[in-house]
């Protein structure tokens, strides 16, 4: 998979996307995989960062197919398990970005405070480009701590019938419906401030 395809899907180049591309290509090469057409490979990602887009494009693991599982712990950890034989790799990012000079560090503080002046954006772009190059040039061992999966293979994706929420009238996957006072509710309706007043 060419990196340009990943960029096209994501919309821009950034350090997170580059890390995800490196993680996905490492796994595909080490496990001698081709892109997953169905659920041959399962990816369990522990954040919802830009890296996950690269993992989707390279591996073929997607939310819609049920072979991309998001556990949003805010950790840069990616686990891949092959269904056929249970072979797995768990990648934890250990890479540290290059140290920023004082001017760039101040620019990042301004950027995080939603300041988007031309000067700030120029420094941020240069910083991101340095990080992207560093990730592209780093050895796998400098980017990731590599091990085996620490959890069992998740079950295959299932198809469930839809039920209708008694409050909003919208379809809800049956296992996600919640019954309260004899009424079938979706989670948003249940979590409304006073759902019982509408019953």
Residue 192 confidence (pLDDT): 85
pLDDT digits (tens, 9 = 90+) for 106-150: 999 999 999 999 999 999 999 999 999 999 999 999 999 999 999
Which of 131, 17, 144, 132 is CA-nearest to residue 93?
144
Largest CA distance in the chain: 62
pLDDT digits (tens, 9 = 90+) for 138-159: 999 999 999 999 988 888 888 8
The Cα 87–Cα 53 span in angstroms is 23
Domains and CATH numbers, the chain: 3-95+138-147 (3.30.1330.130), 162-198 (3.30.60)
pLDDT digits (tens, 9 = 90+) for 42-66: 999 999 999 999 999 999 999 999 9
Beta-strand pair 41-45/68-70: parallel
DSSP state of 83: T
pLDDT digits (tens, 9 = 90+) for 180-189: 999 999 999 9
pLDDT class of 197 with cuts at 50, 70, 90 = very low
pTM score, two decimals?
0.85
Sorted by sequence, the CB contacts under 8 Å of residue 98 that are 6+ apart come out as 130, 131, 134
Which of 181, 186, 182 is CA-nearest to residue 169?
186
pLDDT class of 92 with cuts at 50, 70, 90 = very high
Q: How many CA atoms lie within 13 A of 159 on its CB side?
A: 1
């Amino acid at each position: 998979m060419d990196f340009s395809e990943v960029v096209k899907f994501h919309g821009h180049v950034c350090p997170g996307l580059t890390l995800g591309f490196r993680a996905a290509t490492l796994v595909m090469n080490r496990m001698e995989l081709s892109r997953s057409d169905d659920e041959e490979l399962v990816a369990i990602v522990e954040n919802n960062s830009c890296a996950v887009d690269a993992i989707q494009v390279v591996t073929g693991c997607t939310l819609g197919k049920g072979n991309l599982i998001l556990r949003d712990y805010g950790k840069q950890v990616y686990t891949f398990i092959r269904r056929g034989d249970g072979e797995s790799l768990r990648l934890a990012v250990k890479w540290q970005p290059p140290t920023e000079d004082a001017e760039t560090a101040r620019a990042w503080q301004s950027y995080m405070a939603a300041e988007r002046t031309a000067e700030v954006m120029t420094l941020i772009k240069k910083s991101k480009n340095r990080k992207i190059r560093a990730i592209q040039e780093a050895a796998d061992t400098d980017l990731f701590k590599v091990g085996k999966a620490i959890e069992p293979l998740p079950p295959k994706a299932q198809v469930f019938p839809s039920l209708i929420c008694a409050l909003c009238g919208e379809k809800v996957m049956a296992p996600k419906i919640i019954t309260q006072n004899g009424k079938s509710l979706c989670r948003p309706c249940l979590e409304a401030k006073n759902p019982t007043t509408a019953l």
